Amino acid sequence: MKCRICQHEIRPFMSFGRMPIANGFLTPEEFDSEYFFELKPAFCDQCYAFQIEEQPDPEMMFHDHYAFFSRTSKFMQRHFKAYADWVYSNHLKGDDLFVVEIGSNDGIMLENFANRGVRHLGVEPSANVAEEARKHGVETIVCFFGSDTAKGIVEEYGQSDALLAANVMCHIPDLNGIAEGADILLKDDGVLIFEDPYLGAMIKKTSYDQIYDEHVFIFSALSVASIFGRHGFELIDLLPQETHGGSMRYVLARKGVRGASSIVCEIVDAEKAQGLHLPETYEQFRKDCEASKARLIRLLEEEKAAGRRVVGYGATSKSTTILNYCGIGANLIEFISDTTPIKQNKCTPGMHVPVKPYEAFTEDYPDTALLLAWNHQKEIMAKEEAFSSQGGKWISPIPEI
Ligand code: SAH
Ligand code: TYD
């Protein structure tokens, strides 16, 4: 295969096997027509882009019944208010401001700009979540972002002061097209700011569940600098984040227009010390994934043999990789509880574990809960005090089982 960024020849270093669409929750009538592909990660040692070999078409993942609504987590609502406030205070100056967000989902970030009266526009291809954003006063157009969209926005609204994104840049296979779009859309001194799950954290925690259809890339500072550097942008700041199990916020501007913080060199040096630029790091990661899988299966089998009821907590997209890679189905977990209405009373992609409303968990506590939404551990542990204190046991598949 060829690297999506620099066309260098690369080869996958492992396979997670046959995978369905990670957010493709379905009913039994749909089992026969379920789509599968092989999930194989690869690393490019020329431009440092960590990517998956095959990604299903975007329209198969993002559409008018997309299952992920950003607002389900109170913690994320606070996070996006803080993100928006930080952008506003640190990167926006002047009066007639205009901010664009790629992948604005249900408006969780842009509503904070709307509340300040800042001119804004969300670009969001999944019509159902875009509709929710409009209910929160967020102006949204339903389409995929790219250079054509950028041209259309400039014609209708003018150039923007900031182009923002969260947990979407890593979804987009044609990143060169995104960088071109950013170049068209942004004013000369405009900023491109996005955050995504961080490769350094994924390697450290063996959080292989970050790898699924939507995440075509997992970024590092090294790869972001290299990818956007090809299009005249430079990294000027980096802010590590706790969200999604370890993320990074990247701030980019046109080369030479704004000064770069010293943290950029510090983090790039730390990434080299961690070996994120070396193929052998990914060989070790493969071994760590295999060990993690063996341990999780053993633990769940022990629970079963001891006659203990195990229920999954949080039908995350990430868990699609864990369940399918480890072969965990209704044989090992009874059901998964989740607060998202669109996922409830459906089955999980691939392994077809029933998804039940949250109350199914609280009304009849299991012996053990498998914490699939491990990235929300703090929020969930606080919420589930009652379960834990009456002897409920938790298994967290990541970072350490
Ligand atoms: N920013 C939100 C949502 C992340 S989920 C958050 O962090 O919680 C990713 C979102 O990006 C989905 O709503 C999806 O429909 C959208 N998306 C996917 N590809 C896109 C593209 N090329 N342009 C704009 N949005 C896209
Ligand atoms: P999340 O970890 O944000 O993401 P991803 O799908 O990107 O892997 O998904 C959280 C899921 O967990 C979502 O379906 C809602 C569910 N959830 C609960 O059921 N209860 C909770 O208390 C929280 C925080 C999340």
CA 330–ligand 2 middle distance (angstroms): 20
Atom of ligand 2 nearest to the CA of 209: 8
Which residue type is seen at 184? I
From 392, 280, 296, 349, select the one nearest 39 (Cα to Cα). Answer: 349
Structure tokens at 204: 């450290």
Q: Is 90 exceeded by the pLDDT of residue 400?
A: no
Give the ligand whose atoms come closest to the C-alpha of residue 145.
1
Rounded Cα distance between 110 and 247, Å, is: 20
Atom of ligand 2 nearest to the CA of 380: 22
CA 102–ligand 1 middle distance (angstroms): 6
The CA distances from residue 19 to 219, 306, 323, in Å, are: 22, 30, 10
CA 169–ligand 1 middle distance (angstroms): 8
Atom of ligand 1 nearest to the CA of 149: 23
Would you put residue 219 in left (φ > 0), alpha (ψ -120 to 50) or beta? Answer: beta
What share of residues in the chain are helix, strand, coil (percent, to 5)? 40, 20, 35
Give the ligand whose atoms come closest to the C-alpha of residue 375.
2
Give the ligand whose atoms come closest to the C-alpha of residue 109.
1
Report pLDDT digits (tens) over 56-97. Answer: 999 999 999 998 999 988 999 999 999 999 999 999 999 899
What residue owns the CA closest to ligand 1's atom 14? 103
Which residue type is seen at 123? V
User: Between vectors from CA 8 to CA 170 and to CA 222, what angle results, nearest 5°?
Assistant: 45
Q: Is 90 exceeded by the pLDDT of residue 270?
A: yes
CA 334–ligand 2 middle distance (angstroms): 18
pLDDT given at position 8: 97
Q: Is 90 exceeded by the pLDDT of residue 401?
A: no
What residue owns the CA closest to ligand 1's atom 16? 103
pLDDT given at position 73: 85
Confidence of residue 141 (pLDDT cuts 50, 70, 90): very high
